[in-house]
């Protein structure tokens, strides 16, 4: 069975004011003291108001869910010791007027020198899903085939509507913030792995990026693992929704691997349609239309059911059909994280939002 792994990023917030607090090093150290957290499972991020967790390699969705709950609990317990709370939200609803503290690593210091304002506004948190692939060549073909689904996945994961204390009008403002880096958003279509490597080396040689970690594409080949890494998702309020995305990603990769083996041509969309569809998805989440595989706009729910039909055989083969389908229906019923944050804001203001995301 194809293995999967999940990374989640959280903000550290003052539970009273809802403002970010630069306590990542202390929280990581406290989390590492617990007997059920292994080395590298709780990691630093660009800003000291953020932490990242990474599951081990998992064979089943039950493993994914168990590890995420374990790591969320460990970070929450460690944060409590230092008077803060982890918040699994895509953007910080409120920010200080000052610049946030940058983690003291050479790479992060270099990024601050390169783009100080972007780093200052990088209070955004994503969820990354790694899905194992047999080879880098097949990984490139998977990337090409998954481009058409990235707007739909972005809309489903939208959990970042608030910024500077107000509603941005976007369901995923994180998507907009991240799009400002030099190499970000939708990756191009690659002919093969040699084309991918050649173009990445050209970026590095030019000095436009300092390392391959600055390939902020929404999907890329992992530099550390034999996986395709899907990065278009906002971090999720609920661990169950993260499990849903892990199941969908594995099913998508499995489906497209079979298409590659059958020499089925990859769908080729015009780049401008993909970019516009992504912007539309970030703007509206699931509250409006989405672009389907034929390039037509349709109600978001119809496109989600098209996605489930597309991956149905892969979900069935993995034994994930009931769990993933139920979670997608629950998402449609409850709304995205962005919908829930907006409901909290309307009901109780920013205090209610803080209670929701860091409760």
Three-state helix/strand/coil letters over 65-83: HHHHHHHHHHHHHHHHHCC
* Residues 246, 131 contacting (CB under 8 angstroms): no
CB-side neighbour CA atoms (13 Å) of 53: 27
DSSP 3-state of 209: coil
Q: Calculate the CA 169 to chain-centre distance.
A: 20
Q: Give 327's contacts (C-beta < 8 A, 6+ positions apart).
A: 240, 241, 243, 244, 247
What does 134-154 look like in DSSP terms, one character per residue?
A: S-HHHHHHHHHHHGGGHHHHH
Q: Is 207 exposed, middle or buried (0-12, 13-18, 19+ CB in 10 A)?
A: exposed
Map tokens 């270099």 to a residue.
110
**pLDDT of the residue at 89:** 98
The pLDDT assigned to 298 comes to 95
Q: Read off the CATH number of the domain in which 51 is found.
A: 3.30.590.20
The residue among 65, 29, 34, 11 whose CA lies nearest residue 239 is 65
| Phi, psi for 44 (deg, rounded to 5) | -80, 160
Strand partners, 167: 162
d(CA 190, CA 211): 20
Q: Note down the domain range covering 61.
A: 4-357
The model carries a pTM of 0.96
Q: What is the pLDDT of residue 40?
A: 86
How many domains in the chain?
A: 1
Please tell me the distance from the alpha carbon of residue 79 to that of residue 135, in angstroms, as a whole number.
39
Q: What pLDDT shows up at residue 294?
A: 85
Per-residue pLDDT of the chain (359 residues; tens, 9 = 90+): 799 999 999 999 999 999 999 999 999 999 876 777 887 899 989 999 999 999 999 999 999 999 999 999 999 999 999 999 999 999 999 998 778 899 989 999 988 998 999 999 999 999 999 999 999 999 999 999 999 999 999 999 999 999 999 999 999 999 999 999 999 999 999 999 999 999 999 999 998 888 899 999 999 999 899 999 999 999 999 999 999 999 999 999 999 999 999 999 888 788 999 999 999 999 999 999 999 888 899 999 999 999 999 999 999 999 999 999 999 999 999 999 999 999 999 999 999 999 999 98
Give the pLDDT confidence score for residue 50 in this predicted structure: 97
Are 244 and 307 spatial neighbours (Cβ–Cβ below 8 Å)? no
- Find out whether 189 and 268 touch, Cβ atoms under 8 Å: yes
pLDDT of residue 289: 96
Alpha carbon distance 126, 145 (integer Å): 22
Residue 126 token pair: 């994503």
């Amino acid at each position: 069975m194809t293995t999967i792994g999940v990374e989640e990023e959280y903000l550290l917030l003052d539970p009273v004011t809802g403002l970010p607090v630069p306590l990542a090093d202390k929280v990581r150290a406290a989390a590492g003291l617990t007997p059920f957290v292994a080395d590298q499972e709780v990691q630093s991020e660009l800003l000291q108001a953020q932490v990242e967790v990474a599951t081990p390699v998992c064979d089943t969705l039950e493993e994914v869910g168990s590890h995420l709950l374990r790591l969320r609990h460990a970070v929450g317990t460690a944060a409590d010791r230092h008077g803060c709370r982890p918040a699994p939200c895509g953007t910080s609803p409120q920010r200080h007027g000052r610049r946030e503290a940058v983690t003291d690593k050479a790479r992060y210091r270099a990024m601050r020198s390169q783009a100080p304002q972007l780093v200052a506004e990088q209070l955004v948190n994503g969820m990354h899903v790694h899905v194992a692939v047999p080879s880098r060549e097949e990984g490139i073909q998977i990337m090409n085939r998954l481009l058409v689904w990235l707007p739909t996945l972005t809309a489903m994961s939208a959990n970042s509507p608030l910024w500077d204390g107000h509603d941005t009008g976007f369901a995923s403002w994180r998507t907009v913030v991240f799009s400002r880096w030099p190499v970000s958003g939708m990756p191009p279509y690659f002919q093969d792995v040699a084309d991918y490597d050649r173009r990445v080396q050209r970026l590095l040689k030019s000095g436009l990026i300092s390392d391959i970690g600055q390939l902020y594409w929404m999907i890329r080949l992992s530099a550390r693992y034999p996986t395709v890494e899907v990065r278009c998702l906002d971090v999720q309020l609920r661990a169950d929704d993260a499990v849903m995305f892990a199941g969908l990603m594995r099913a998508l990769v499995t489906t497209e691997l079979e298409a590659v083996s059958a020499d089925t041509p990859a769908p080729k969309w015009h780049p401008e349609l993909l970019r516009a569809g992504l912007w539309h998805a970030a703007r509206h989440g699931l509250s409006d239309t989405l672009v389907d595989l034929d390039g037509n706009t349709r109600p978001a729910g119809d496109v989600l059911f098209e996605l489930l039909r597309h991956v149905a055989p892969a979900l069935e083969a993995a034994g994930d059909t009931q769990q993933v389908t139920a979670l997608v229906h629950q998402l449609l019923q409850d709304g995205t994280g962005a919908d829930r944050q907006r409901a909290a804001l309307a009901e109780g203001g920013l205090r209610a939002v803080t209670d929701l995301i860091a409760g």
